[in-house]
A and B are shown apart, each in its own frame.
Chain A
Amino acid sequence: DGGITQSPKYLFRKEGQNVTLSCEQNLNHDAMYWYRQDPGQGLRLIYYSQIVNDFQKGDIAEGYSVSREKKESFPLTVTSAQKNPTAFYLCASSSSERETQYFGPGTRLLVL
């Protein structure tokens, strides 16, 4: 089945710890995105990547980092510099010929 997978489903972060969220897609899409969703705030773009080995900051990139070493993978690291990391994180991808994005099931990050 084609789709986007995210892992883990739930993640707990301790104070001062970096954590990495996984996103994999087998849709052969060129572009991948990371969003953060908070209650009452909608989706906000963290980072996006149009091609392998290239990525750009979104609207709220501070405290986050990404890499794009393979077309199908776009991991997101939430660093200790992100002071309010508790949120629902969504990964998405899109074909270069289409304007629509398709989402994974999400990872809920909680701070201990």
Chain B
Amino acid sequence: QKEVEQDPGPLSVPEGAIVSLNCTYSNSAFQYFMWYRQYSRKGPELLMYTYSSGNKEDGRFTAQVDKSSKYISLFIRDSQPSDSATYLCAMSMWSGGSNYKLTFGKGTLLTVNP
């Protein structure tokens, strides 16, 4: 079983739709959870960061973590064509000293159609 599982999609939605992106994980040592957005041929940019179970909201984006189910989600409200990108979930755990090891999902390709 892979440490982090993410449905690669592709996912295609109409403009204005609510988008739900999900990842599951198997290692309960993961403590911190992130979502990155990556436009084509660019580096990933940090979108959301959470460290506890529950919801965190930032504008149209909501990150949800359920540690008991080992499940994280990213919701995008009122999706826009500019949201079209690959979304990567990432999880980190302490690996000694001041080092945190990040493990990434494979990414979900999202297209928002005008």
Query: Residues of A with Cβ closer than 8 Å to B?
Result: 4, 6, 30-31, 40-43, 45, 48, 50, 88, 90, 94, 96, 99-106, 108
Across the interface, do A106 and B106 meet the contact criterion of CB distance under 8 Å?
A: no
Which of the four size classes fits the interface of chain B?
Answer: 20 to 34
Is there contact, CB below 8 Å, between A96 and B107? no
| Bound: A111/B41 CA distance, A | 18
A43:B43 contact, CB within 8 angstroms? no
Chain B residues whose C-beta falls within 8 Å of the C-beta of A96 in the assembled complex: 98
**A90-B44, A104-B43 known; A99+B106 contact, CB < 8 A:** no
* B residues apposed to A, CB below 8 Å: 8, 31-32, 34, 36, 41-46, 49, 51, 88, 92, 97-102, 104-107
A50-B97, A50-B98 known; A106 and B88 CB under 8 Å?
no
Q: In the complex, what's the smallest C-beta–C-beta distance from B47 to chain A, in angstroms?
A: 11
B36, B41, B88, B100: the one within 8 Å of A99 (CB): B100
A77 to chain B minimum Cβ distance, whole angstroms, is 20
The distance from the CB of B36 to the nearest CB of chain A, in whole angstroms, is 8
- The answer to whether A100 and B34 have CB atoms under 8 Å apart is yes
CB distance from A35 to the nearest CB of B (A): 8
